[in-house]
Structure formats: C-alpha cells, structure tokens
A and B are shown apart, each in its own frame.
Chain A
Amino acid sequence: MTAVLQVEGLHKSFGGVRAVADVSFAVDAGELLALIGPNGAGKSTCFNMLNGQLVPDGGIVRLEGRDIVGMKPRQIWRRGVGRTFQITATFASLSVRENVQMALYSHAGRLRSLLSRFGAAFAAEADGLLDQVGMLDQATRPCGVLAYGDLKRVELAMALANQPRLLLMDEPTAGMAPRERVALMELAAKLARAQKIAVLFTEHDMDVVFSQADRIIVLDRGQLIAGGTPPEVRANPNVRAVYLGGTH
C-alpha cells in the first residue's frame, strides 16, 4: 500500500537562505504524524509547500501517488486534503452551520447557483459533522461571536466536510487553554483513526505531541534531524541538543 502523502527531497530557499532542504517523509492512512522543531526551523514553509500556498524549488509531493506540486490550494482541497489554520479562518458573518454547509456545497460543486436559496441542502450532513466535533448546540450562532476553542472545532468540522484522505493541521491548538488542547487533539485523533484519515500536524505543545502522535519528525534549520515513535524521538540525542541547547 502506498502512503497517503509522500514527500521526497523537498527544497525551498528565500533569497539565498535555505528554509527547507532535502526533506522526505510519508504519512499513512489513519496515522498521526507530528512535525516539530524550534522556531524558524522551517515548519511553516514545509507546511505551505504541501497545501499549495508556496511552490517548492525542488522535490516531489505525492498525494495518493499523484504529484500535486504547482496546484492551487483549492485544487489540492478537491483532491481530498482538509486544512485547519494556525489562526482560525472561518466565515464570521455566517452561522456555524452555514460555515460547514459552505464546505459541503463547495464539495458538491453547487455554489454557482444564483437563484436558489442557500441553506436548504446539506443541513443534516452539516449537523452530523457538527455533532462529531461537539458544536451542534451552537449551530445557529454566527462564527464571529464564538470562543476561540469553539472556532477550532468548527474549523475541524469544515476540514472534514470533503471526506478528506489527508488532514493538514497547522498548530491546531495554538492560542487555546492547556486543558482544551489535549481534548481537541484527542478528538481529531479519534475522528482520523475512525475514518482512516492521514494527519500531519505541527505543534509547539509537547504534551499534545507526545500524547497524540503516532510518529514524530523533527526539523532543525530546514533539515530533518530525527524521526520515529515518541519514545524514540524523546531519547534521540540530536533532538535533545536542539531543544535543550548544547553542542551539536
């Protein structure tokens, strides 16, 4: 079986500075892979090359065997990639349910209708997704008034709307209270495993990383320096050097 996401020899430089150099890894269906590293290690650059916001200088990104380099974010989404953002991005003037419905309408290719009334279709599907993330009781509230942790849940529901094979989560718990963090990531892990979705996430909270990830890869100065299960990574001297300082 091929991996859902396969990255080989990814390169990106900004004006002579190598942000990401020769990065390769793969994520399997139902697996949670954490991408970690100190600030400035190249995590965001790496992430943005996978979701289509940056075009890599070199390397291959395969989604279920097909190269997606050069595709726009919306084309990548159409191939089954869901995303959540470091700073939540939802439609503030629309209700929670309408937010999820937008994703469902878009998935079904039904947004180009000019005269039908929005909201009649996919209400049950939207409520199903909201139920999964525990937001059904707030379905009619506009996103603009929600608490931050709840917005993260709405984003998760939207990311699941196109029945993704891959979920890209950029710092999914940033800005949340510590207790909420593990809960959100547990939820994401549960849903991903049940639906056989591959998950790649970056994260600063080591409690979240080591308790939820199946595997961890570590980026430092644009290069992968370690990879493996949480206990392996925890024991890796290179990782300790990067995070705790010292010579290397």
Chain B
Amino acid sequence: MTFASFIIQLLNGLAAAASLFLVSAGLSLIFGVTRIVNFAHGSLYMLGLYGAYSLIQALGRTPLGFWSAVVLAALAVGLVGVLIEVLVLRRIYKAPELFQLLATFAVVLVIKDIALFAWGAEDLVGPRAPGLSMAVEILGRRIPAYDLLLIAIGPVVLLAMWLLLTRTRWGALVRAATQDREMVGALGVDQARLFTSVFFVGSVLAGLGGALQIPREPANLELDLAVIADAFVVTVVGGLGSIGGAFLAAILIGVAKAFCIGVGTVHWFGAEIVFSKLTLVVEFLIMAIVLVVRPFGLLGKPQAAQRLAADPAPPLAVPSWTFALVWLALLIGVPVVADRYVTILLTDIFCFALFAVSLHFIMGPAGMVSFGHAAYFGLGAYAAGLLLKRAGLPMELALVLAPLVAGAFAIVYGWFCVRLSGVYLAMLTLAFAQISWSIVFQWDSFTGGSNGVFGVWPSPWLASKTAYYYLALAFCGAGITLLWRVLFSPFGYALRAGRDSPLRAEAIGIDLRGYQWMAFVLVGALAGLAGAVYAFSKGSISPSAISIAQSTDGLIMVLLGGVETLTGPLAGAAIFTWLRDELARRTEFWRAVMGLVILAIVLLFPQGLVGGLKALMQRRREVHS
C-alpha cells in the first residue's frame, strides 16, 4: 500500500466515522442517563435519512434547501424521540430492564412499517450536497469535498457536546444522572423532564447522523438494525455513557473498515483472503478484543451500582408431569384432526419453542442476557444443511451432528462472553452473532451467500408433513425436557445461585465462570438443534436465520411470555409465531400491528403474559377468599 492510498483510506474511514459517532453518541447519552438500551436508535437514524430525502425534495436542491433539510430532519427525529419517551418509555421506567428493551423492539417494528408506508420498499438515492459535489485532489487522488466536511463535523459535534455537558446546568444534571440517577432524583430534579430532554438530544444526534449520510448512502428499510448493530459496537468499544469514548471508537472502527476495503484481496501463504468482505468480521473482532482486554470499553467505567435493584427473581416452580402429559397427548392428536396448515404452523412453533426455551435458560436462570442467540439457531440450521448438501451425510446424521457444530461455536464464543456481564455481555453476544452472519452471508462459494442453501429436505420416510411434525415434536420436546431437567439439577441451581449473588457463589467455592461457560455451550447446542429441525422443515436456509431480527424474535418470545416462569417462553413462542403468521397473511404492515400488540402487552402486563395471568388469578383468588 502506498502512502497516498494509505492517506486516502484514512480519510475514507474518518468520513464514515462521523455519522457512526453521531448516532453512537446519542445512544450512549440515552443509556447513560436512563439505563435503557434503545434498540430503536437505529430506526431514528433511518428516519433521519428518509426525512432528509423528502425535505430536500420539498425545499429544493440548493445549498440552503439541503442544509435546512438536514437540520429540520434531525430536529423532527428529535421530536419522534420525545414522543417515544413520553408515550412508551416513561410509563415503564420502573419495569425490569428487559421489558424496556422489549418496548424498544416494538418501536423498531412500528417505525419500520411507518417508513414502509410513507416511503415505500424501494431504496431512495438522495442528491449530492449542492455546492459540495466536486472532488478535492489530495496526493493525486480525488476525495469528495463532502467527505472532508463530514470529517470536520465529527470533532465539531464532539466539542459542542463537551461544552453542553461541562458548561451548562443541563449538562451537569446529565453527568450527575449518569453517575447516580437515584441521587439526582432524591435531590429534587424533575427526572421526567431530564429524561425527555436527553431523549430529544440523543435522537437529534441519531437523526443528524442519518440526514448527513443522504449524499453517500441510499435510504432503505434495512438500515435500522444494521445501524443499531454498528452503534452498539461503537458505544461498547468506547465505553457506555462516554461521548469521548464513542468518538475514539467510531474513528477506530471507521478507519479499520476503510482499510479492509482498501486492502482488498491479499494472498498469504497461498490462501486468498478477501479483506473487503471481512469488514463486519473486523469490526466485531475489534469489539471482542477490546471487551476482553478492557471489559468496560476504552474510556468507560464500571457500571454504577443501582441501589433500587430489581426485585429478586421468584423461585422457579417445577413443571408438573400431568400438565406436560396432557399437552403432549393433545399435540400427538393434532395431525389426526387438524389440516395441513395447522400441522406446519405447529412444527414451526415447536422449533421456536425450543429456541425460546434455550434463550430463556441462559437469560433467566443463568442470568446472561443474549442479544445474539440466533447465532446458534442459524449455525445449527446451516450445519444441518451443509452436512447434508456439501458433506453428503444422510439427513438423520446431519440432524444429530448439527447441534454439536452449534455447540462447538458456543464453546469459542462462550469463552469470551462469560468474562463479561450485563449490557456488555449482551452486546458481545450480538457481536458474535453478527460475525457469524457476515461470514455466512459473504462466503458465497460454501454457504450460498445471500441465497442460502436449498434442497435441505428430510429423508423420504420423514417427507410427509405429518411424519415431520412428529419428529419435530419428539426432538424439540426432548430438548425442552432436557433443559428443564437441568434447571432443577445441582448444576442448574448453581447457575441460579450465581445469578442471585456471584460474590456468595465464589465464596462457597463455585467456579461460576466455568458453570456459565458450560451453560452457554448447552443452550448453544440446543438452539442449534432447533435450527436444524427448522431447516429440514423448510427445505432451505437463508442468512436471515442468523440475523439480528431472528435474535430479537427470540427475545420477544421470551419476554412476551415472561422471563420468570418456565412455561412463559412456550406461550411466547406460540403466540408470536401464530400472530406473525396471521398478520403477515392479512396485511403488508404486519410488523407495525405486531409492534403495537407488544407495546399494549408491555404497558398492561409488565411481567409478561404468563406472569401477568398468574398475578391476575392470584388477585381473583384473594378477592374470593
């Protein structure tokens, strides 16, 4: 690489880092004060991009029109953020953190469909910035003038944020609340107003980050989750709640990605490495390394202890055999009476039920929230498909080996993950899921790339939908039984003990990390089994099986049913899968309806459906007696 091309890649990276910084700074700010991981932050970025597109059309392609559009779009997104805070989040600040997360997922779904309704499914390519469409010659290479402007905007916003945070009363409150939100409340500060204003500023930053990208990147509906993944990486690498850290991390990652593209294809020891396809892998590897070396990010501090800790988890009740056998008998009878559609839907539900139960195991009793559980589901599905199509194994063998492959990945990923806890752990799981996704997505020759793997059908004796229904019931049922059984074993109790008090667990000789690692591998393998059963039921696999959307689907199922009961994830998986299917057949905007349903549930039953119903029954019993 020559010096000139080095400089060019550096500039490219810095230009990309600007928007990354803006959106991450907003996310970090919101998290610092409200302790909410705002999954909808990427959606706000997307709205900024769409908003700028439309406003430029309305205001005209003049420098004045362009820049007014960018600023107005950012401010409008800020108001959307205020709306989200006032209408949804303000009502659930006292709910468990995971429920707030679920609410922000719902907002993602709603915003996606609002964008679909308003702007359509086609990518929208914005205009170049009027007056800045020329290129500047640097070291004999041409760099768009707009990119140079972006490079300058990053430090300007950083400086503005710094002044805002250190020189104003509002900034002092934000810094105080980031350190100790309860104390700020106890000192008589109106928290509702503070939170709303923080949401406004954070959302404006996200909207601005999006709007500024209009000359560089088409507005599209996939941006929400793609951007949130990037922003998570940047905030976590920089340190949650640290604006300066977000700036450093954005530059680090923006530049690293630019160099990957710049390097292109390299031959090392006879192997061909296509760096330009490895941008995502590099990005998430940086994150994994930073988190293992500095568990709280480059400039982050350990999370402040919360005095108002959530209520301790209630004791788990052992599921009764009668309950299980009655359900089993009913399900065995279904194919006899029901039609083909019901059989197929239930087969799906079985797969997702095992997926949800394995996620529940790790995030509930084991206390490790995973944002990337789809990694194991998807790797299990791909392992099944590739063992069948590429290795030529019989379907039965592929089905049995696939969970082991997923488990093997969980051994590697889990080793890193159990070193962290809380939000950092959740982000790292997401990182590993994204690494898996990008490898599957980009390794065309082996995994089929974006098309996936086709012709993954079961053996002839399992080919009928009824036969496969029974196979899915048997495998998924066995997997769920195993997980529940383990929960009540000494190992399962040790996990719960470690979740309740890591300090005490260590003080009575429990090697908590080792136990958590084992749990990670166990649930990884069983999520892989769910994926493998799913793959053969569909006949094909696509990268969406490893996507963030698949991971969030799992989280929604678990949280919808309620994380505090064993049967909750089953109910959540069934209701989610059925509802999605019903809605998708009736309306193009099923996501929005789904999002609104979830929001209604979050606001009405903050303990999840099964937990909420139990509480309701309890109350009725008390009234009667």
Contact = CB atoms under 8 A, between A and B. Distances in A.
B489 A113 contact: yes
Contact of B504 (A89, A93, A110, A113): A89
B500 A111 contact: no
A118 B492 contact: yes
Contacts, number: 105
Interface in A101-140: 102-103, 105-107, 110-119
A105 B492 CA distance: 13
Given A74-B507, A93-B313, A144-B312, A114 B491 contact: yes
A45 interface: no
Contact of A111 (B311, B499, B510): B510
B620 to A, nearest CB: 23
Most buried by A among B313, B315, B506, B508: B508
Nearest to B515: A111
Contacts of B511: 74
A93 B315 contact: yes
A170 B203 CA distance: 46
Nearest to A95: B315
B159 interface: no
Interface string B480-498: 0000011011111110110
Contacts of A77: 507-509
B507 A92 contact: no
B584 to A, nearest CB: 38
A89 B491 contact: no
B496 A115 contact: no
Interface in B456-506: 485-486, 488-494, 496-497, 499-501, 503-506
B313 A111 contact: no
B316 interface: yes
A12 interface: no
Interface in B268-314: 311-314
Nearest to B504: A89
Interface string B129-151: 00000000000000000000000
Contact of A102 (B311, B314, B493): B493
B518 to A, nearest CB: 8
B486 to A, nearest CB: 5
B312 to A, nearest CB: 3
A142 B312 CA distance: 10
A103 B508 contact: yes
B509 A107 contact: yes
A114 B486 contact: yes
A44 B315 CA distance: 33
B504 A90 contact: yes
Interface residues of B, number: 30
A98 B312 contact: no
Nearest to B564: A93
Interface string A155-173: 0001001100000000000
Contacts of B509: 74, 77-78, 106-107, 162
A77 B505 CA distance: 11
Main secondary structure of the interface of B (DSSP, over half): helix
Contact of B490 (A85, A110, A162): A110
A74 B505 CA distance: 8
A144 B494 CA distance: 17
Contact of B510 (A74, A94, A144): A74
Nearest to B510: A106
B509 to A, nearest CB: 5
A89 B490 contact: no
A72 B506 CA distance: 9
Given A74-B509, A91-B497, A93-B496, A158 B504 contact: yes
B315 A111 contact: no
Contacts of B508: 74, 77, 102-103, 106-107, 158, 161-162
A72 B313 CA distance: 28
Contacts of B506: 72-74
A83 interface: yes
Contacts of B485: 115
B510 A92 contact: no
Contacts of A90: 500-501, 504
A158 B508 CA distance: 8
A168 to B, nearest CB: 9
Contacts of B315: 93-95, 142
A92 B503 CA distance: 13
A83 B313 contact: no
Interface in A37-52: 51
Contacts of A111: 490-491, 493-494, 510, 515
B491 A94 contact: no
A72 B315 CA distance: 30
A103 B505 CA distance: 9
B501 A98 contact: no
B454 to A, nearest CB: 37
A118 B488 CA distance: 6
Contacts of A106: 494, 508-510
A114 B507 CA distance: 22
A158 B511 CA distance: 17
A109 to B, nearest CB: 9
A73 B513 CA distance: 13
A102 B495 CA distance: 11
Contacts of B314: 93, 142, 144
A89 B497 CA distance: 10
Contacts of B496: 91, 93-94
A117 B488 contact: yes
Given A74-B510, A74-B511, A92-B313, A98 B493 contact: yes
Given A73-B507, A161-B508, A105 B490 contact: yes
B121 to A, nearest CB: 47
A74 B502 CA distance: 11
B490 A118 contact: yes
A95 B311 CA distance: 16
B507 A91 contact: no
Interface string A69-81: 0001110011000
B490 to A, nearest CB: 5
Contact of A93 (B312, B510, B515): B312
B311 to A, nearest CB: 8
17 contacts: A78-B509, A83-B507, A89-B503, A91-B497, A92-B312, A93-B315, A95-B315, A102-B497, A102-B510, A111-B515, A115-B485, A115-B486, A115-B489, A117-B488, A118-B492, A144-B314, A161-B508
In the complex, the 4 A-B pairs of residues with the closest C-beta atoms, listed nearest first: A92-B312, A89-B504, A144-B312, A91-B500
Given A74-B507, A105-B493, A106-B510, 15 more contacts: A83-B507, A85-B504, A85-B507, A90-B501, A90-B504, A91-B505, A92-B313, A94-B493, A106-B509, A115-B485, A115-B486, A116-B489, A118-B492, A144-B311, A161-B508
